Structure 1
């Protein structure tokens, strides 16, 4: 009698394909200026072999950020020191108790190597990744301030000569005294507060709303600037809660206000047709 010993798997079932990255292919993470408003990053692929690798989807996975569905791609990458694949990434997982430490991350992708069948692979990301650490810190810093108050531009803006005058508004959300130390300009606009002292405005613990008058003016007037206005409307506001560390909240006007501000700047700069 012949006894055949088999494993626990189902007879005839092919082995699961390896999730190890293809030989000679690695990834790192980067972010261009144009990625910031879109909440996106670049998966920078390096292929040191002559075998092309086709990517059909890419996904960032980390406990520090909400996991989004894989981003579809149709990219064949041959030998290269760096080829970028742009993907969105999820919101940071923040805590009201303070700033968290960045957690390890991987990049999952469905790839086809040469003539092989497609398979799912997982690329390691060296830990701690400096880009993810910065993104987590920035988003969670803003989160901590926003637990106490919303910070936004007011709805009413008026042209005054070469200036556009409006307000920065703080609206109560939770407990705490919120103080705004400064409102910084952007690549395209200079911010001039009406009040020169610090803090610019304070939402006292018992108040529901506070506002500070500010004025905007064009920071540059070359035509190329308005064609490349990637970060023109990402205004850094430095604020603290209950006298704690100042943290940066990015305040962005709504799309219709952005259009008005572009038209205003083009007119002031003498570029409006």
Structure 2
């Protein structure tokens, strides 16, 4: 068998050329450092909460316009969603918001996790430059992400043991609507509900004065607590801006542990009935 010997000089030349190509490729990679004078932070409007959204608040202190093609929130605390279209040219501004939805929280079955660092990844163009990928670092710990993670994972801990929902039967009784909060078994543990709080539009009156309002015992599959709803405000503007009208905070605990807040939202058909009822009671038609 013949062996081909490669001259040492040729080998060194080829290796040097390959190394040079690698260096050239590395130099050709688009920079990920944000443009000078451009930064981001996170914010959330009241209307964002029901749709699991937040705002990428962009600050541009320069006179050079920056075009954002798309943006993406990346953090180990929430499931990462694909980049979302922005299609926005941002000139000098203290704050311009780019809305994005964010993924489900990565919760733990044993307790509340600590919020993890976050970045905002964007494809953008500064002035007449070509599009490039940029990574903005979000100051850590971010207070908004900390709150969103805490709230979602608090509800997760309760929902492991039981589902909380509005019952199917609701009837108007004078000037109130009467129905129930229903607990349905999912996992293990006794689930106690301490209170059902009102929203921006509806007040909640429990049907009993006992505490807890209702308890799903460890050997029970279902439990319910009677509650009554009544309008919290009757001005027409209130019903035009009903962004959080149906996000009812329920304070619940498992096996006597710390109380957690679970947001319970009635199904759409019941929401429509409650709006019609409130309009009638308020004398606004319906």
- TM-score range with shorter-chain normalisation? over 0.9
Q: Which aligned runs of 4 or more in structure 1 are off by greater than 6 angstroms? A: none
Shift in Å at residue 231 of structure 1?
A: 0.3
Aligned counterparts of 2:281 and 2:150: Cα–Cα separation in 1: 37
Q: Secondary structure at the match of 2:157?
A: helix
Aligned counterparts of 1:34 and 1:209: Cα–Cα separation in 2: 33
| 1:1-273 matched pairs, under 5 angstroms | 5-6=16-17, 7-9=19-21, 13=25, 15-272=28-285
Q: Which runs of 5+ in 1 are unaligned?
A: none
Q: What does the per-residue CA deviation read over 1:186-223, in whole Å, with 9 as the maximum and x for residues that have no partner?
A: 00000001112220000001000000000000000000
Over 3 Å counting, the alpha-carbon distance change for 1:208 and 1:74 in structure 2 is same
Q: Secondary structure at the match of 2:153?
A: helix
Shift in Å at residue 9 of structure 1?
A: 3.1
Q: What does the per-residue CA deviation read over 1:87-124, in whole Å, with 9 as the maximum and x for residues that have no partner?
A: 00001000101100000000001101100000111000
Count residues with an aligned counterpart. Answer: 273
Over 3 Å counting, the alpha-carbon distance change for 1:157 and 1:12 in structure 2 is same
Q: Secondary structure at the match of 1:243?
A: coil
Shift in Å at residue 73 of structure 1?
A: 1.3
Shift in Å at residue 225 of structure 1?
A: 0.4
Higher Rg: 2
Aligned counterparts of 1:148 and 1:8: Cα–Cα separation in 2: 60
Structure showing the higher helix proportion among its residues: 2
TM-score normalised by length of structure 1:
0.97
Aligned counterparts of 2:136 and 2:192: Cα–Cα separation in 1: 43
Aligned counterparts of 1:11 and 1:122: Cα–Cα separation in 2: 22
Shift in Å at residue 161 of structure 1?
A: 0.9
RMSD over aligned Cα atoms:
1.7
Q: Secondary structure at the match of 1:195?
A: coil
Shift in Å at residue 266 of structure 1?
A: 0.6
Shift in Å at residue 271 of structure 1?
A: 0.6
Aligned counterparts of 1:252 and 1:203: Cα–Cα separation in 2: 20
Shift in Å at residue 40 of structure 1?
A: 0.2
Over 3 Å counting, the alpha-carbon distance change for 1:17 and 1:208 in structure 2 is same
Q: What does the per-residue CA deviation read over 1:8-49, in whole Å, with 9 as the maximum and x for residues that have no partner?
A: 535975611101111110000010100000100010000000
Aligned counterparts of 2:169 and 2:136: Cα–Cα separation in 1: 49
Q: Which runs of 5+ in 2 are unaligned?
A: 1-8
Aligned counterparts of 1:11 and 1:124: Cα–Cα separation in 2: 27
Aligned counterparts of 1:204 and 1:181: Cα–Cα separation in 2: 14
